[in-house]
Structure 1
Amino acid sequence: MDLKALAEKFNPYQIEMRRYFHAHPEPSTKEVETAKKIREELTRAGIEWRPCGKNLTTGTLATIHGGKPGKTFLLRGDIDGLSVKEKTGLPFASQNDGFMHACGHDCHISMLLTAVMIANSIRDEIPGTIKFIFQPAEEVALGALDMMADGVLDGVDGMFGMHVWSELPAGQVSLEAGGRMAATDQFEITITGKSGHAALPHKCVDATPCMAATIMDLQTVVSRQVNPVSPLVLTVGKVTSGTRWNVISGSAKIEGTVRSLDSESRDMAEESVKRIAANTAASYRCTAEVKYDRLCDNVYNDPEITAFGREAAKTILGPDALPNTPPTMGGEDFGFYCSKVKAAFALFGVGNAACNACYPQHSDHYTVDESTLVKGALLSVQTALNFLNANK
């Protein structure tokens, strides 16, 4: 595989696709035009594909059968945008007002499409099969499970995915074995007391101090209940209580998230949130109802797949492209795949202040150094080839 020639050949296509998808973001589960464009590109290139999803209609699975027999490797990119009003001022800024590819999924689509085209151009050299999934609804943690329910992992021997990452300089990749991204849970605590006149607190059961006490008690989950060497984040992000300045609140709600890297801490946190909510409420003569949802599993990088990816990164980006980076407590529904098949997930650096790519993910000014994206496409293909060649 002549990497330099392939980069030169497919870089214009990569940039064209990235800019098209950046200008046309769509919300999770409703990526209709996005899926249509992806399928048009696959059909134009003569690539085999099918819709993939049990309930969602916007997932796509493409397949390239190599010229030689072998195992099957799966590459994944997500396709949904965010409800963010773009303020980048780019000439290819979002044309869908109120929506933006502020997490870089436009890059994921274009890199995966480019990877398809690269693999198709060398299909006779491929010892096995490479599959490609364009996954919807990552931002709401629905897409992976929906595609899995439609058999996307059937016959798959290994898997690789990437996320562009603004905190890493362009040309660097974070790819290490073990737990790399956190399991993501969401909780809602509804506290019920008894409302009444602010001048008659003795005839009411005030939900507001109960809410405040519950928030403070929840802080002990991390500081006093979890093993201090096991990363855990518990964040209360939204609180609501009361309707008027002279009315004692009869109800309150606490909403938040828990992030963890291991199952023991995750189980402990869920039990603790429920126990603290109930016991604190009781001490304030209130009741508490807890809704606790496990949104997505943690991303665990299989050592074997990680090794193939690291070798690919050295080939594509050079020997100094792999800095040692700690795990992130951000979540990714790629974790569901990791629980079923050997997989690895990389963070692909796109930061570069020279082209204003210095804003964090989800910022309304978010952008990337698009000149490096074609190397991301090559990295995916090279990882697949490394796996297939080693498992003939």
Structure 2
Amino acid sequence: MTQPGHGVMPGLDRVAAARGARPEGDPAPWDGTALQMQLDAFLARQDPQLIAFRRDLHRHPELGFAEHRTTQRIVDALTAAGLRPRVLPKGTGVICDIGPGDGPTVALRADIDALPLMDEKDVPYRSTVPGVAHACGHDVHTTMVLGTGLFLAQQAAAGLLPGRVRLLFQPAEENPGGALDVMAAGGIAGVDRVFALHCDPRIEVGQLGLRAGPITAACDKVYVRVTGPGGHTARPHLTADLVYALAKIVTELPAALSRRVDPRSSLSLVWGRVAAGSVANAIPDDGIAEGTVRCLDDDAWHKAPEMMKALLDSVAAAYDVEANLEYVRGVPPTVNEPTSVQMFRDAATQVIGPDAPVPTPQSLGGEDFGWYLESIPGALARLGVRTPGSDAEYDLHRGDFDVDESCIGVGVRVLAATALAALWDDRRPTADETVGGAVSA
């Protein structure tokens, strides 16, 4: 990646003039025409290199917490642009600040890890790593945030960034766990808002899927182990009928949970594996059930382990068996803050067009971006990656997944405009800071 040129680009002179003449408390000084011109000029130079960068990552995918080559590629590109990236303590993942630290701070997050599956595409940039592929678009996410960072570095060099933008290149989203590592390293300390884009093959390039409130679900794993004395199937009354008890647990827990929480939380327990016994005429002494809990409501998610333990103990006691619950937290629901969603909407309208923002449904899939939104406001949006008019639709987490690479430039435009909108919005004085329409001393 070449270093972006410094200095004032076409259109910036009007921005600088407006900035100097702007009354306190007025909206952001940059206008859509000027920003469009800047982004057009930047992408005219950088788009081919951004596509090449994405293809390089696609050819060399790395699993969570093993993204060493990916991390180095990011560090090299940011360093070449005059920035000072720092690698996370475990050796993968990058944090990089752009702009002055005396104003608001906005974070842009990209996940950098790949999936453990075969790349089935016949393309020049097909994965060269057997059994590992970028089948969820993380290579695209990384490239878009990198490109946005290079553009904003150019803005900062021209003195036109009204605050700080923090780039978060997060490892291990699929594991999950990488978001917690970023947070432990101070990644969101002092951050006012955080934004992210995620590829969506159901949406066409040039569109941005938006939703306020829950957009993805919490996803936890549960492991239930049931034990009893065992015995002969001819005399179930002299022992504990473990298989019958396990069947009751498997059927009654999901039903009981659905009656203990608000239906709007969409809390669901679904079993994926149930096993007990080895022969037809012997009652076994142990059995297991494994499944997932998904939920769209943060409050219900926090209460789920305690509720499940109480219900499990009640059912097990009725059939005289012991039941142990291992409840493994995954990720919280991703709950988009409405103001941040509106910033995405305004930015997409400004730099893509009025038809760019489209509604998007909730998903019960998990996304560890939710950890950030537990602490600070922000939003996750779905970026269209399907070629307009194409009949081909590639789902996520499939070996044939691919994108129309023109989505990269769209993502850079949206992220850059959203970051700038958020920075200028957070610089506005609050009602407590103004008296009679003027900023108080």
Q: Same fold (TM over 0.5)?
A: yes
Alpha-carbon distance between aligned partners in 1 of 2:390 and 2:53, rounded to the nearest angstrom = 19
Structure 1 equivalent of residue 351 of structure 2: 316
Bigger fraction of residues in strand = 1
Alpha-carbon distance between aligned partners in 2 of 1:244 and 1:15, rounded to the nearest angstrom = 58
Confirm whether residue 331 of structure 1 aligns to residue 366 of structure 2. Answer: yes
Alpha-carbon distance between aligned partners in 1 of 2:166 and 2:353, rounded to the nearest angstrom = 26
Unaligned runs of 5+ in 2: 1-34, 428-441
Structure 2 equivalent of residue 129 of structure 1: 164
Cα displacement (A) at 1:285: 2.5
Match for residue 113 of structure 1 among 133, 136, 146? 146
Confirm whether residue 342 of structure 1 aligns to residue 382 of structure 2. Answer: no
Tell me the matched-pair count.
Answer: 389
Confirm whether residue 10 of structure 1 aligns to residue 46 of structure 2. Answer: yes
CA RMSD of aligned residues (A): 2.3
Confirm whether residue 291 of structure 1 aligns to residue 326 of structure 2. Answer: yes
Structure 2 equivalent of residue 361 of structure 1: 396
Greater shift in the superposed pair: 213-222 or 372-381: 213-222
Structure 1 equivalent of residue 72 of structure 2: 36
> What per-residue deviation string (whole Å, max 9, x for no partner) do you get for residues 1-26 of structure 1?
32333332222122111111111111
Cα displacement (A) at 1:61: 0.6
Greater shift in the superposed pair: 231-240 or 366-375: 231-240
- Based on CA coordinates, which of the two structures has the bigger radius of gyration? 2
Structure 2 equivalent of residue 60 of structure 1: 94
Query: Contact 2:204–2:388 (CA<8 Å) still a contact in 1?
Result: no
Cα displacement (A) at 1:354: 6.4
Structure 1 equivalent of residue 114 of structure 2: 81
Greater shift in the superposed pair: 348-357 or 119-128: 348-357
Alpha-carbon distance between aligned partners in 2 of 1:207 and 1:20, rounded to the nearest angstrom = 54
TM-score when normalising by structure 1: 0.91
Alpha-carbon distance between aligned partners in 2 of 1:250 and 1:28, rounded to the nearest angstrom = 38
Unaligned runs of 5+ in 1: none
User: SS in structure 2 opposite 1:229?
Assistant: helix
Q: What letter matches 1:47 in structure 2? A: L
Alpha-carbon distance between aligned partners in 2 of 1:174 and 1:133, rounded to the nearest angstrom = 22
Match for residue 192 of structure 2 among 143, 148, 157? 157
Query: Contact 1:221–1:269 (CA<8 Å) still a contact in 2?
Result: no
Q: What letter matches 1:33 in structure 2? A: R
Cα displacement (A) at 1:51: 1.4
Alpha-carbon distance between aligned partners in 2 of 1:357 and 1:350, rounded to the nearest angstrom = 11
Match for residue 263 of structure 1 among 298, 301, 304? 298
Q: What letter matches 2:415 in structure 1? A: S
* C-alpha spacing 1:9/1:198, structure 2 compared with 1 (3 Å): farther
Matching of residues 175-254 of structure 1 within 5 Å: 175-195=210-230, 205-221=240-256, 223-244=258-279, 247-254=282-289
User: SS in structure 1 opposite 2:191?
Assistant: coil
Cα displacement (A) at 1:357: 5.4
Q: What letter matches 1:23 in structure 2? A: R
* C-alpha spacing 1:7/1:220, structure 2 compared with 1 (3 Å): same
User: SS in structure 1 opposite 2:75?
Assistant: helix
User: SS in structure 1 opposite 2:365?
Assistant: strand
Confirm whether residue 71 of structure 1 aligns to residue 97 of structure 2. Answer: no
> What per-residue deviation string (whole Å, max 9, x for no partner) do you get for residues 226-278 of structure 1?
32333223221222323456654322211111122223322453333222322
Alpha-carbon distance between aligned partners in 1 of 2:123 and 2:319, rounded to the nearest angstrom = 54
